[in-house]
Amino acid sequence: MDAEIASASIWGQRPGEEPFEIHLTIGTPYQIDEEHWACPVGLQPLFSKLADSHGGSSFQALCLASSLALGLLSDFKEKGNSLFYSPGEDFEFESYVFGVAAGKRGGA
């Protein structure tokens, strides 16, 4: 990933295993051609290499990359694993939902 524009570090833990740090990274969207954009996304060490998210604009590619990362983290948790910022402080997916995705119009 060339230029990281956003990142977060959280902790994951599988049952019976030690906690491990997860590095979520979003890269700078880049234009593929006149109508297509892509945006790099990383979720180490859960995935060694994720495909870039593709959209019709840089904003859409950025939103899709963020959505991919959150979806994969949600899947990790749904499989019985834990996600947290620090012991006793759960990772709250609700804090990453905004606007129309949260059922609101005109703001967060």
pLDDT at 62 over 70: yes
The chain-wide mean pLDDT, for the chain, equals: 90
The DSSP code for 22 is E
pTM summary value: 0.87
pLDDT at 1 over 80: no
| Sheet strand arrangement including 82-86 | 41-44, 20-27, 4-13, 82-86, 89-90
% of the chain with per-residue pLDDT over 70: 89
Tens digit of each residue's pLDDT (9 = 90 or more) over 7-46: 999 999 999 999 999 999 999 999 999 999 999 999 999 9
Q: Where are the alpha helices (DSSP H) in 1-105?
A: 58-78
pLDDT at 66 over 80: yes
pLDDT at 103 over 70: no
Maximum alpha-carbon separation in the chain:
49
| CA-CA-CA-CA torsion sign (56, 59, 62, 68) | negative
pLDDT of residue 53: 97
